[in-house]
A and B are shown apart, each in its own frame.
Chain A
Amino acid sequence: MKMPRTDYIEAINMLKEEVLKMGELSKGAVYGGVRSLIDKDFDLASKIVREDNNRIDILELEIEEKCMVLIALQQPVAKDLRIIGTCMKIITDLDRLSNLGVNIAKITIKIGDKPFIKPLIDIPRMGKLAAEMLDDAMEAFINEDVELARGLSKKEEEADALYDQVRRELITFMIEDPHTITIASDLSFIARYLKRIADHACNIAARVIYMVTGEREKVG
């Protein structure tokens, strides 16, 4: 005999898998954006901009639709409801952060062959950190790992510190030589996007904690 509500439980598990898949695709956009910048890989940048997260957008709508159907037909409560609510919330974060990845690729193309003012050090670090935070958040989501989710707070502090450092440095360049303003402000935007990506990862982590424990906690 089947356990009660087997199909429903399966549908919720499938939903989580799809959110995880959307997380992977979003990470691809972020990672690709940063990679294209560091390597000045214009083909990669153009590809990211051209695709404009089409697959992610479609997946987001599909996931949302599945959540709506589950709510309408299954009247989820308690943890099931928290899982579905969490999925609906975090797909928005994933969509936004993947768009930020596209924005980085756009700036890569805009900067083109012009040399960076200085070798990029902290921005790649921020990129790596943001991608790691997203990985942690998604792993915490799929494994329901509250401690891993809480751990994002510390990484968020690191990301903030790096952002402040990058900005200070870029402002110094701009003050010293106004010719650097265009490129310095582009890089400043990129740093800002990466900081926002880290923030979205923290939002996801906070949602995961709520999903697992039912309690609201701030992350980051």
Chain B
Amino acid sequence: MGIKIRVNGFNLWYGENHALKDINMEIEKNKVTAIIGPSGCGKSTFIRSLNRMNDLVPSCITKGDIFFDGMEIYEKDLDVYTLRKRVGMVFQKPNPFPMSVYDNISYGPRIHGEKNKKKLDKIVEYTLKSAALWDEVNDRLDDPALGLSGGQQQRLCIARTLTVKPDVILFDEPCSALDPISTSKIEDLIRELKERYTIVIVTHNMQQAARISDYTAFFLLGEIIEFGSTLQIFENPSDKRTEDYITGKFG
């Protein structure tokens, strides 16, 4: 037990649009926290705030604090690259680099200065095993990554995230482009990964949130309506709006 990320009165604007309103939330270490809510409710904006990906949006302004291991991540002199190394992200569509499987994985460690081939081999094997992909690709590490199936590409991207040894992995709808079998492989993987990492996942698939997460937050129009244990949210939500959303009566 322990709090990995603490969000305190966090607000975010895209120009005039108040996209996140006074968000307060504690994300527990080595747990899976799912963010659900209808399109445009701010859930992707929220997880992108956790590693300052929104910095890339020109009109974006923030107020309030996000503490990562007690460190305020919106501090002026914070090194955002170090932050993003520790808070990795996997996107909706698999986005492997147009290079070999091996090079996709070794790319991160190499730009961080690792040249030793043996060490790189080890990293490649270790992370591919961690991402449950090694058995499927170990005989074609030199093949282009774009030749893998969608599900394999997504696991490759997860492996690539793991190479820089993050503490937290953010998943932004990682399975929305995948078939059911690839989806269950990623879900199994997320369950394994939480032993070592803290995971935050945005998903439109409510059953997925129910299956894999320990905590669930329901967002609506930029606000957190309800945040609690996944069991409580899906068995007995306390807010009518949460109930209506998860039972499919709106949204």
Contact = CB atoms under 8 A, between A and B. Distances in A.
Partners in one complex: yes
B237 interface: yes
Contacts of A8: 248
A42 to B, nearest CB: 50
Contacts, number: 39
B210 interface: yes
A82 B237 CA distance: 12
Given A77-B206, A77-B210, A214 B236 contact: yes
Nearest to A9: B249
A213 B210 CA distance: 20
Contacts of A75: 206-207
A82 B236 contact: yes
B247 A76 contact: yes
B81 interface: no
A205 B242 CA distance: 26
Interface residues of B, number: 15
Interface string A201-218: 000000000000111000
A3 interface: yes
Nearest to A80: B247
A5 interface: yes
Interface in B229-251: 234-237, 242-243, 246-251
A44 interface: no
Given A75-B207, A77-B206, A77-B210, A214 B235 contact: yes
B228 to A, nearest CB: 12
A43 B24 CA distance: 70
Interface string A1-32: 00111001100000000000000000000000
Nearest to B236: A214
A78 B243 contact: yes
B236 A4 contact: no
A28 B222 CA distance: 54
A162 interface: no
Interface string B150-176: 000000000000000000000000000
Interface string A62-94: 000000000000011111111000000000000
A47 B162 CA distance: 73
B248 A78 contact: no
A78 B249 contact: no
A5 B243 contact: no
B249 A79 contact: no
Interface in B154-208: 206-207
Contact of B235 (A3, A4, A5, A82): A82
Interface in A150-206: none
Nearest to B238: A214
A180 B228 CA distance: 63
B246 A77 contact: yes
Interface string A33-63: 0000000000000000000000000000000
A79 B245 CA distance: 12
Interface string B8-36: 00000000000000000000000000000
A82 B246 CA distance: 13
Contacts of B234: 77-78, 81
Contacts of B249: 3-5, 9
Contacts of B246: 77-78
A4 B237 contact: no
14 contacts: A3-B249, A4-B251, A5-B248, A5-B249, A75-B206, A76-B247, A77-B206, A77-B210, A77-B234, A78-B234, A78-B237, A79-B243, A79-B247, A81-B235
Given A76-B247, A79-B236, 6 more contacts: A4-B249, A4-B251, A79-B243, A79-B247, A80-B247, A214-B235
Question: Top 10 A-B pairs ranked by shortest CB distance?
Answer: A214-B236, A77-B234, A5-B248, A78-B243, A77-B246, A80-B247, A78-B237, A78-B247, A78-B246, A75-B207
